[in-house]
Amino acid sequence: MMNKLLCLCLTAAILSIGTCADAQKKSFVDVAGLDPQVKPGDNFFRYVNGRWYDTVKIASDQSGVGSYSFLNIPQKKLLQNILDSVSKAKNTIGSIEQQVGDFYESGMGLATIDRRGYQPVKPILTRINAINNRATLLRFVATEFKSGNRSIISFGIGPDNKNSAINIAHIYQGGIGLPDRDYYFKKDSATLHVQQAYKSYIRTLFQLTGSTKAEAIKDATTVYSIEKQLAASHKTNIELRDVEANYHKLSVGALSKTQPNLGWLTLLANLGASTDSVDVAQPAYFNRLDTLLKTISLDQWKIYLKANTLESYAETLSKPFVDASFEFNKDLTGEATQKPRRQVMTGQVDNYLGEALGQLYVKRYFNEDAKKRVLSLVNNLQKAFENRINHLDWMSDSTKQKAKEKLYAIIKNIGYPDKWRDYSKVQIKRTQYFENILALNQNDYRFQLAKLNKAVDKTEWGLDPATVTAYYNPSVNKIVFPAGILQYPYFDFTADDAIIYGGIGMVIGHEMTHAFDDQGAQFDKDGNVKNWWTKEDFQRFRAKTGQLAALYSTFTVLDTVHVKGALTLGENTADNGGIAIAYDAFKMTPQGQTTEKIDGFTPDQRFFLSIARIWRVKTRDAFLRTYVNTNPHSPATWRVNGPLMNFEPFYRAFDVKPGDKNYKPEDQRVKIW
């Protein structure tokens, strides 16, 4: 729960968050947890978190423990408290309490869910059996997509990259069940194990719906073969980061000519999308799909759609389906046991009714003064970032001016939306979990579709207020800090400035820097993909980001597994920039200008200790392997050690010298922002 004790002492400096006597009594540094056997210059993550890392236990139903995304685990307990309360109360029909309470309760009714078996999906499987030509196949695909059953088409509504004021239709590669395309082609033992687990999962789903073992083996082979053919046309996760290469706005007429088997006019009509153009993000996928719709038999496509449907709904069906899904996914997460049902349903309510649950969370747990404090902090970091831009030695004055215009055009959203989403049109029934899922998916689809060809609503949020995370949206040029992240170790009213700037300050600086990472730098202040750089400046920028990608690619994660420098480039750029900006802003506070120690540490040292504390995370190896392959963030260790080895103030604060393992000579340190 967020600390409600406000530090009301006044300070002389405008830029200070403020400290008082009570704040000095609480160190915010886990002194006992420091590992004196590790030199800060060898491995700062281990120096700060080593003892905790070696003694903390990961719960059997979790893939990790600690801060950042894993702080959502205790956060879910707060949401469970809300849901346990409202689900037992007598609520007005249509109220948010009734909706979240009854949806939660519908998923807690395991006896009813188990008694129904796979009856809820039988009508869908029957409709697949009735498919008799390509047209009815594609009509099924479109109809099911609107209910959340996504297969060979991925469709969405969002800003036009070249005209960010308007929402347009986008289509993306899809059709596969493994985390990404590389899982179908890599030959290392870990990946081969995942492949076999996935095939076994598909076989189990078929057997649970009445197939013999022999039939299930044959059909699973068919499904995997189709997915592998689709995966061959997919762009890699690294290729997906190329902004220009993943934008192709084409007329529907042109698409209909080049991909006749997809029947785009009819397909879009079945999706309810009235438009004469579409952004085809990955054309190669749709070219391949158009061919496969003709070369793969209709019977095989029907087998594929059955498997896809069962995978889509497995976790909403009876226990044997839930167990089968868990058995496969534990090979990706390393989790040994399933999560308690209360925790599962808390996640489901947050996923499907996030802003409704968010309203209840904010009322119960959020301190409104946090919005003002964090907005002040955001403004401080903006000034620090401007100063850094002014002093860059690699950027011309004309580009600096454009960069500062973009910096000050950033929209700032803190805590929760000014306008909450309305779910009142959805009828939630207390005893119909599967039907509730369909109704919520259909409602969400209608909500998104209504944006097509309309002006972009820049006030809309892209995640739920209770979530422990933050984000930057380049198409809107907006940073968002939900209520969920405004708690320790990121933010605490009673903490000294060093802790605050090293915590939420670093996160704010990180999100600001995303506006100027390798992707964000291609968007102008209005959110359009438009060049605002001089040719020479952009070349210098690309050279520097190339150096950063190369550096991170040398970092080892597990045995021979390395960080993917190209995949994580944007996040690594933001981490490096975030620390530098937060530090500069901290140095403008009264504490940042002194050397007075707390618990034996100088203000600068406490700033860096806070940096390492916010990334205090321990994960299972299976989860970490999946993470490195698919996640654009570096693992926690390198979110600490990577940026700090490039940052001179850290060297001074902890007397890092040649011979220390993470020491980098001055000319090898990568400095961008």
How does DSSP assign 320-347, residue by residue? HHHHHHHHHHHHHH---SPPPHHHHHHH
Q: Give 295: exposed, middle or buried? Use CB within 10 Å, 0-12, 13-18, 19+.
A: exposed
State the pLDDT at residue 15.
35
What's the N-to-C CA distance of the chain in angstroms? 35
Residue pair 601/637 in contact by the 8 Å Cβ criterion:
no
Question: Span 139-151, mean pLDDT?
Answer: 98
**DSSP string covering 238-307:** TGGG-TGGG--EEEHHHHHHH-GGG-HHHHHHHTT---SEEEES-HHHHHHHHHHHHHS-HHHHHHHHHH
pLDDT at 278 exceeding the cut of 50: yes
Measured CA to CA, the distance from residue 279 to residue 242 in angstroms comes to: 15
Q: Across-strand partners of 65?
A: 618
pLDDT at 19 exceeding the cut of 60: no
Question: Span 651-668, mean pLDDT?
Answer: 97
Q: Across-strand partners of 529?
A: 523
Measured CA to CA, the distance from residue 612 to residue 603 in angstroms comes to: 15
Instruction: Give the model's confidence band at 26: pLDDT under 50 very low, under 70 low, under 90 confident, else very high.
Output: low
Residue pair 514/462 in contact by the 8 Å Cβ criterion:
no
Q: Which CATH class is domain 118-316?
A: mainly alpha
Domain segments of the chain as ranges? 118-316
pLDDT at 532 exceeding the cut of 70: yes
Residue pair 389/407 in contact by the 8 Å Cβ criterion:
yes
State the pLDDT at residue 22.
38
User: Could you read off the pLDDT of 406-446 as tens digits, one per residue?
Assistant: 999 999 999 999 999 999 999 999 999 999 999 999 999 99
Residue pair 192/184 in contact by the 8 Å Cβ criterion:
no
Tell me the two tokens of residue 86.
Answer: 């409202």
pTM score, whole prediction? 0.93
pLDDT at 381 exceeding the cut of 90: yes
Question: Span 36-43, mean pLDDT?
Answer: 97
Measured CA to CA, the distance from residue 636 to residue 391 in angstroms comes to: 30
Considering the chain, what percentage of its residues have pLDDT values greater than 90? Answer: 95
Residue 594's closest CA among 585, 584, 604?
A: 604
State the pLDDT at residue 23.
38
With the C-alpha atoms ordered 210, 216, 218, 221, is the resulting torsion angle positive or negative? positive
Residue 587's closest CA among 576, 597, 575, 595?
A: 595
State how beta strands 163-172 and 154-160 pair.
antiparallel
State the pLDDT at residue 2.
33
Rounded mean pLDDT of the chain? 94
Residue 79's closest CA among 353, 420, 350?
A: 350
CA dihedral 452, 454, 457, 462 (to 10 degrees): 10
pLDDT at 9 exceeding the cut of 60: no
Q: Which amino acid is at 422?
A: D
User: Could you read off the pLDDT of 222-272 as tens digits, one per residue?
Assistant: 999 999 999 999 999 999 999 999 999 999 999 999 999 999 999 999 999
User: Could you read off the pLDDT of 55-87 as tens digits, one per residue?
Assistant: 999 999 999 999 988 998 999 999 999 999 999
Q: What are phi and psi of 496, to 5 degrees?
A: -75, 165
How far from 160 is each of 344, 383, 445, 511, 524, CA to CA, in Å?
A: 36, 30, 19, 22, 13
pLDDT at 335 exceeding the cut of 80: yes
Rounded to the nearest 5 degrees, what angle is found at the Cα of 83, between the Cα atoms of 79 and 87?
Answer: 175
